[in-house]
């Protein structure tokens, strides 16, 4: 019948909550305790608020078949509609790049904008657990009673905590994977994992957890790893096994070269932050193979262009997402980059300005850079020197520090709720 109602599909939320005894009042949040045994969790639209803060969506380029990158997903109450003006620079830009729309005032209704993707990190998980009123808090509740995370199976309380953290990440990422058409990027805890082997083991354990929830890991999940020496080596080993990775905090060609040679699926640059660092260090552009006399306001663009050239010269599969794009001029200069992360102000500026002839976008020189002079054999000592002489030294340290603080806060939160020993 034309108006026959489709039978509701089973949500992955139901499977997650099966790991949490509904009768356990000490574990179950009030909204779930009220449901009683065998009751289903509250219905949630894909547009329901998940987190506070940023929501990202992707504006696909007109003929793109490139998988969408994993970027942070969150929500607030009021949706924002964006209609792309015909003949605007925004319309022209999206013919050559996939645009990732970063806004603080949107949920999942973006007019002509496409599907969003998501990131799961310690800070996002902590926000879900402390400020989110939805059933997403069940991500931790399920992890706490997940049998492989019992102390009998893990051996020590410390190992048990590591397991609970990983399982919480996986549970929340699985919920996000049901809501987005793009990929979910899941941070791997590189703070408690001290060696390459431990990073690889953590990612593989999380992959197995995803598979228990029937998540197509190769299609939906990226494991997010910072561009440290051990991080990139772990990426190389994971990609060899078909486990795809998102390499972050890339600020120099040596980091990019190693990530590309490791076949990383996605590599993230930071245009504005790179510009800021080089603004008072103009001489370093030549030393870092970025050319002499480069406009200080576009050094981050030039770094991204050189990385794009590295991908082409290596015939690599790595895609690039340019973040920290602060203005319209940087966005235009990046036309042709795989993905651009643009805030609402930059999007509006592009949308209001009429575009040049469409052929100008095709002829843009983003892909004209020659192969950068980056040595084939980069050892760890040379890599550390490259970090110290580029923005990577400061920015990578700061990013890792912030991540470690968030991770420690999450662990302290969980410790207060996980009873010592096995069971619940």
Contact 187, 403 (CB under 8 A): yes
E strand intervals along 5-54: none
Mean pLDDT, residues 9-28 taken together: 31
Give the pLDDT score at 112: 43
Position 418 confidence tier, pLDDT thresholds 50, 70, 90: low
Give pLDDT tens digits for 396-405: 999 999 999 9
Give pLDDT tens digits for 284-299: 777 677 776 678 788 9
Give pLDDT tens digits for 201-259: 999 999 999 999 999 999 999 999 999 999 999 999 999 999 999 999 999 999 999 99
Helix or strand (DSSP H, E) at 177: helix 157-179
Helix or strand (DSSP H, E) at 127: helix 122-131
Give dist(CA 190, CA 167) in Å, integer. 16
Give dist(CA 378, CA 356) in Å, integer. 42
pTM for the whole structure: 0.78
Give dist(CA 300, CA 310) in Å, integer. 15
Indicate whether 313 pLDDT > 60: yes
Contact 163, 189 (CB under 8 A): no
Indicate whether 134 pLDDT > 90: no
Mean pLDDT, residues 101-116 taken together: 42
Percentage with pLDDT > 90 across the chain: 48
Higher local confidence (pLDDT), 243 or 46:
243
Q: At what angle do helices 229-240 and 253-261 cross, to 10 degrees?
A: 20
CA angle 284, 289, 295 (to 5 degrees): 60
Give the pLDDT score at 116: 58
Contact 166, 209 (CB under 8 A): yes
Q: How many CB atoms lie within 10 A of CB 66?
A: 11
Higher local confidence (pLDDT), 375 or 36:
375
Give the pLDDT score at 419: 57
Average pLDDT, the chain: 77
**DSSP annotation of 147:** G
Question: Which burial class, exposed, middle or buried, applies to 95 when counting CB atoms under 10 A from its CB (0-12, 13-18, 19+)?
Answer: middle
74 CA to centre of own chain:
12
Give the pLDDT score at 359: 61
Give dist(CA 241, CA 234) in Å, integer. 11
Give the pLDDT score at 181: 76
Encoded tokens for 57: 């969506």
């Amino acid at each position: 019948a034309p108006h026959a109602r489709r039978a509701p599909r089973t949500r992955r939320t139901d499977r997650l909550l099966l790991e949490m005894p509904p009768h356990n009042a000490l574990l179950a949040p009030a909204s779930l305790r009220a449901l009683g045994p065998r009751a289903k969790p509250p219905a949630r639209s894909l547009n329901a608020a998940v987190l506070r803060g940023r929501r990202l969506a992707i504006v696909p380029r007109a003929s793109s078949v490139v998988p969408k990158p994993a970027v942070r997903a969150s929500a607030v109450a009021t949706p924002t509609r964006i209609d792309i003006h015909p003949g605007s620079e925004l319309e022209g830009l999206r013919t050559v790049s996939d645009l990732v729309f970063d806004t603080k005032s949107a949920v999942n209704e973006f007019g002509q904008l496409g599907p969003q993707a998501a990131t799961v990190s310690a800070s996002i998980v902590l926000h879900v657990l402390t400020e989110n009123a939805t059933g997403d808090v069940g991500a931790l509740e399920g992890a706490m009673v997940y049998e492989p995370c019992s102390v009998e199976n893990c051996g020590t309380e410390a190992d048990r905590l590591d397991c609970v953290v990983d399982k919480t990440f996986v549970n929340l990422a699985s919920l996000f994977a049901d809501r987005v058409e793009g990929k979910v990027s899941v941070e791997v805890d590189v703070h408690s994992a001290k060696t390459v082997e431990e990073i690889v083991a953590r990612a593989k354990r999380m992959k197995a957890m995803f598979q228990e929830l029937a998540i197509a890991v190769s299609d939906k999940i990226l494991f997010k790893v910072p561009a440290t020496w051990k991080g990139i080596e772990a990426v190389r080993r994971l990609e060899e096994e078909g486990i795809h990775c998102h390499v972050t905090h890339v600020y120099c060609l040596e980091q990019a070269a190693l990530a590309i040679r490791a076949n990383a699926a996605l590599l993230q640059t930071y245009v504005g932050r790179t510009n800021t660092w080089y603004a008072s260090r103009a001489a370093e552009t030549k030393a870092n193979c970025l050319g002499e006399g480069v406009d200080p306001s576009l050094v981050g663009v030039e770094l991204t262009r050189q990385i794009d050239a590295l991908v082409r010269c290596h015939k690599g599969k790595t895609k690039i997402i340019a973040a920290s794009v602060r203005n319209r001029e940087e966005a235009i200069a990046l036309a042709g980059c795989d993905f651009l992360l643009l805030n609402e102000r930059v999007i509006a500026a592009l949308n209001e300005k009429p575009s040049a002839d469409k052929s100008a976008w095709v002829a843009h020189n983003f892909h004209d850079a020659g192969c950068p002079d980056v040595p084939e054999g980069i050892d760890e000592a040379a890599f550390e020197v490259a970090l110290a002489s580029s923005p990577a030294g400061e920015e990578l340290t700061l990013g890792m520090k912030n991540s470690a603080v968030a991770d420690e806060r999450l662990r302290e939160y969980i410790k207060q709720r996980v009873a010592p020993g096995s069971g619940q």
